[in-house]
Amino acid sequence: MKINETPAQREFVAGQRRRKRAVLACRILLLAAVLTIWEVCAGLGIINDFIFSSPSRIIRCFYTMLLDGSIFLHTGVTVLETLVSFFLVVTIGILGAILLWSSRTLSEIMDPYLVMLNSLPKSALAPILIVWLGNNMRTIVVAAVSVAVFGSILTLHNGFRSVDPDQIRLIYSLGGNRADVLKKVLLPGSVPLIISNMKVNIGLCLVGVIIGEFLSAQAGLGYLIIYGSQVFKLDLVMMSIVILCGLSAFLYQAIAVLERKVQGTE
Amino acid sequence: MIPKLEVRNLNYSYHTMDGETTALSDISFSVKSGEFIAVVGPSGCGKSTLLSLICGLFKPDSGTILLDGRPVRRASSGIGYMLQKDHLFEWRTIRSNASLGLEIRKKMDDLHKSRVAGLLETYGLEPFSGARPSQLSGGMRQRAALIRTLALEPDLLLLDEPFSALDYQTRLAVCDDISTIIRDRKKTAVLITHDLSEAVSVADRVLVLTGRPGHVGAELTVSFASGETSPLKRRNEPEFSTYFNEIWRLLQRGAEHLPDPKGNYAEVLHEN
Ligand SMILES: Nc1ncnc2c1ncn2[C@@H]1O[C@H](COP(=O)(O)OP(=O)(O)OP(=O)(O)O)[C@@H](O)[C@H]1O
Ligand SMILES: [Mg+2]
């Protein structure tokens, strides 16, 4: 606490802290309440725990798979596929945006096609991808990339185009060429945009991976969900969904940390 | 003697799907080495376009621009261009912003680096050389932008309303500061401004452009009996308000498109 703080300022800060703690407490309470009601209803037979599962059944299922190690395999496969497609999307997104920026004619030619591909529901492509690429991890990665890549190219290209023309003029007046504009202004100036785009992409890649795993996989959380529902092991399905929740929150937070790091250095 | 800069019968038009905009028509003037000239004119009369042409960023439709008697090349290193905003990049430190031109021209050797360090030292930015632009005041940022321009050692400086983004107080101080630096370094300068008192306080000569298409309506030599060149002090000289009113009158006349065939003033070169 600073020495010259007025009582009013101290009161304000304390008030804000109290509010923050209250919000956190309510969040935890809400989760606990939902889990308790679910467990109690399942225990009393109000809902059929064979269909709706229950927190304790999910934990038991998780524990069994932890013992035989299969949970690591499935989660690991999904994480791997998500990260590979994420890196591909980021790379292709940046390169594609640079390519479109480098030629106005090309960007005008490609624009309607990119917009169309971006709004196409990508799950429609998945069956075709299986036929073309086979029943393997490659199909899943391509499916995931297709979900995110077009939007990424469009967003980044838009960002490049909205750079202040005077900044570009500055580079030219210092004797630079288009490559200098790219290296000195567009790329460094677009770092915040690239990162906020990454936040969107990591979520979309996870969606794409799960769609892909639904259709063609021998392992992964999406595979567990489909397999579990086919053999009526709904504990397995519910557990996979819970892990997916945790996974997506974790991946998103990882990018948020990266974002704060970058902002910190600027 | 060959003038530092000579502009002859320059014409330029912008073309868009909405039509053609003639920005400059038949502009001619010349600037002696070491001279400081100011260009005033109504908004949209093509002042910024003129600087882009001199800097070689655009190609004129017709006419010639000679720098030291030779046609200008695109972004020749003899010309430094300062824009309205400082455009210091937030992702670079002040030192690396100031060396941007050197980086682009691949001149990041020890000699040039130490020159930038020297400039930062001379102009009081040394303590901030590792800081980000947002940590500096508006005036210091303009200085940093000037150092970025000076690092390439141009002889001719083109200044496009470089102070207009600043508040009035800072603006007076920064204008005094920057123009003193430019005069001390014996650079030739072309300053564009909307502020008539700024034009009178810094320039040796003022070009008055008419409304679009821009055309040199009049040329006025500014000389103070005391030989004063400091902008702040010039404002207190007796001739100051005479020159101010004169430029005001010339601008009004240009705005009304009143031709003055007799040319009551010796300075009037071109008639409408
Ligand atoms: N890229 C462009 N395309 C079409 N017309 C343009 C373009 N840039 C400028 N113009 C037009 O050319 C004229 C001159 O523009 P310029 O920016 O040189 O004027 P200016 O004297 O610098 O104006 P200001 O005092 O507002 O800065 C204006 O009427 C403007 O509308
Ligand atoms: Mg302008």
Domain ranges of chain A: 1-47, 58-263
A185: closest chain B residue by CA: B89
> Mean per-residue pLDDT for B169-192?
88
Residue B263 scores a pLDDT above 70: no
Q: Which fold has domain A58-263?
A: MetI-like fold (1.10.3720)
The pTM is what? 0.83
Which three-class secondary structure string do you get for B78-121?
CEEEECCCCCCCCCCCHHHHHCHHHHHCCCCCHHHHHHHHHHHH
Of the residues A163, A169, A173, A180, the best mutation for testing chain B's interface (the one with the most B CB atoms within 10 Å of its CB) is A173
Contacts of A171 in chain B (CB under 8 A): 104
Tell me the C-alpha distance between A101 and A110, whole Å.
12
Q: What is the pLDDT of residue A218?
A: 86
Residues of A with CB under 8 A from a CB of B: 164, 166-167, 169-176, 180, 184-185, 188-189, 191, 266
Whether ligand 1 lies within 6 angstroms of the CB of B46 is answered as: yes
Contacts of B132 in chain A (CB under 8 A): 266
Name the residue among B89, B91, B100 with its Cβ closest to that of A174: B100
Query: What is the rounded average pLDDT for all residues in chain B?
Result: 85
Residue A66's H or E segment, with its range, is: helix A55-68
B79: closest chain A residue by CA: A173
CB A168 within 8 A of CB A182: no
CA distances from A186 to A39, A89, A164, B121 (A): 54, 19, 10, 30
Non-local (6+) Cβ contacts of B189 within 8 A are B35, B36, B37, B156, B157, B158, B159, B179, B182
Residue A265 CB burial class (10 angstroms; 0-12, 13-18, ≥19): exposed
Residue B189: strand pairing partners: B36, B157
Q: Count Cβ neighbours within 10 Å for each residue of A31-66 and write b for 16 or more, e otherwise.
A: eeeeeeebbeebeeeebebeeebbeebbeebbeebe
Cβ atoms within 10 Å, residue A79? 17
Protein residue whose Cα sits closest to atom 29 of ligand 1? B44
Non-local (6+) Cβ contacts of B235 within 8 A are B197, B201
Q: What is the pLDDT of residue A187?
A: 93
Whether ligand 1 lies within 6 angstroms of the CB of B20 is answered as: no
pLDDT in tens, A107-136: 999 999 999 999 999 888 888 888 898 888
CA distances from B266 to B218, B220, B249, B270 (A): 10, 9, 15, 11
Non-local (6+) Cβ contacts of A140 within 8 A are A81, A85, A208, A209, A212, A213, A216, A217, A220
Of the residues B84, B87, B149, the best mutation for testing chain A's interface (the one with the most A CB atoms within 10 Å of its CB) is B87
Name the residue among A173, A188, A189 with its Cβ closest to that of B57: A173
Q: What is the pLDDT of residue B108?
A: 85
Residue B198: strand pairing partners: none
Q: What is the pLDDT of residue B261?
A: 39
What is the gyration radius of the CA atoms in chain A, in angstroms? 24
Q: What is the pLDDT of residue B256?
A: 55
Confidence of residue B266 (pLDDT cuts 50, 70, 90): very low
Please check whether residue B2 touches A, CB under 8 A.
Answer: no
Q: What is the pLDDT of residue A203?
A: 93
Closest CA relative to residue A150, chosen from A82, A197, A187, A192: A197
Residue B256's H or E segment, with its range, is: helix B239-256
DSSP 8-state secondary structure symbol assigned to residue B214: B
Q: What is the pLDDT of residue B210?
A: 85
> Mean per-residue pLDDT for A98-113?
94
pLDDT in tens, B111-131: 889 989 999 998 889 999 999
Non-local (6+) Cβ contacts of B12 within 8 A are B22, B23, B24, B46, B49, B53, B58, B60, B61
Q: What is the pLDDT of residue B254?
A: 67
> Mean per-residue pLDDT for B83-94?
91
Residue A92 scores a pLDDT above 80: yes
Helix (H, G, I), strand (E, B) or coil at B158: strand
Sheet with B36-40, edge to edge strand ranges: B79-82, B156-160, B188-192, B36-40, B205-209, B216-221
Tell me the C-alpha distance between B114 and A138, whole Å.
54
> Mean per-residue pLDDT for B140-150?
90
Residue A126's H or E segment, with its range, is: helix A126-133
CA distance to partner chain B, nearest, from residue A164 (Å): 9
Q: What is the pLDDT of residue A265?
A: 62
Confidence of residue B264 (pLDDT cuts 50, 70, 90): very low
> Mean per-residue pLDDT for A215-227?
90
Tell me the C-alpha distance between A140 and A227, whole Å.
17
Whether ligand 1 lies within 6 angstroms of the CB of B49 is answered as: yes
Residue B269 scores a pLDDT above 60: no
Q: What crossing angle do the helices spanning A70-102 and A191-215 adopt, rounded to 10°? A: 130
The number of the ligand nearest the C-alpha atom of B42 reads 1
Helix (H, G, I), strand (E, B) or coil at A63: helix
Its ipTM equals 0.84
Residue B258 CB burial class (10 angstroms; 0-12, 13-18, ≥19): exposed
pLDDT in tens, B229-243: 888 888 888 888 888
The structure tokens listed for A165 are 């023309």
- Express as a percent the part of chain B with pLDDT over 90: 34
Q: What is the pLDDT of residue A149?
A: 95
Whether ligand 1 lies within 6 angstroms of the CB of B171 is answered as: no
A168: closest chain B residue by CA: B87
- Express as a percent the part of chain A with pLDDT over 90: 77
CB B239 within 8 A of CB B72: no
Confidence of residue A100 (pLDDT cuts 50, 70, 90): very high
CA distance to partner chain B, nearest, from residue A266 (Å): 6
Contacts of B52 in chain A (CB under 8 A): 169
Residue A26: strand pairing partners: none
Q: Inter-chain contact A188–B87, Cβ cutoff 8 Å?
A: no
Closest CA relative to residue B190, chosen from B37, B23, B29, B47: B37
Cβ atoms within 10 Å, residue A225? 20
> Mean per-residue pLDDT for A234-262?
92
CB B101 within 8 A of CB A175: yes
> Mean per-residue pLDDT for A139-159?
94
Residue B31: strand pairing partners: B5
Residue A57's H or E segment, with its range, is: helix A55-68
Name the residue among A170, A185, A266 with its Cβ closest to that of B83: A170
pLDDT in tens, A177-191: 999 999 999 999 999
DSSP 8-state secondary structure symbol assigned to residue B66: E
Q: Count Cβ neighbours within 10 Å for each residue of A116-149 and write b for 16 or more, e otherwise.
A: ebbeeebeebbeebbeebeeebbbbbbbbbbbbb
> Mean per-residue pLDDT for B216-236?
84
User: Chain B window 89-148: which residues touch A at a Cβ cutoff of 8 Å?
Assistant: 89-92, 100-101, 103-105, 132, 148
Name the residue among A166, A185, A266 with its Cβ closest to that of B83: A166
Q: What is the pLDDT of residue A181?
A: 94
Tell me the C-alpha distance between A222 and B248, whole Å.
76
Pairwise pLDDT comparison (B268 vs B178), residue with the higher score: B178
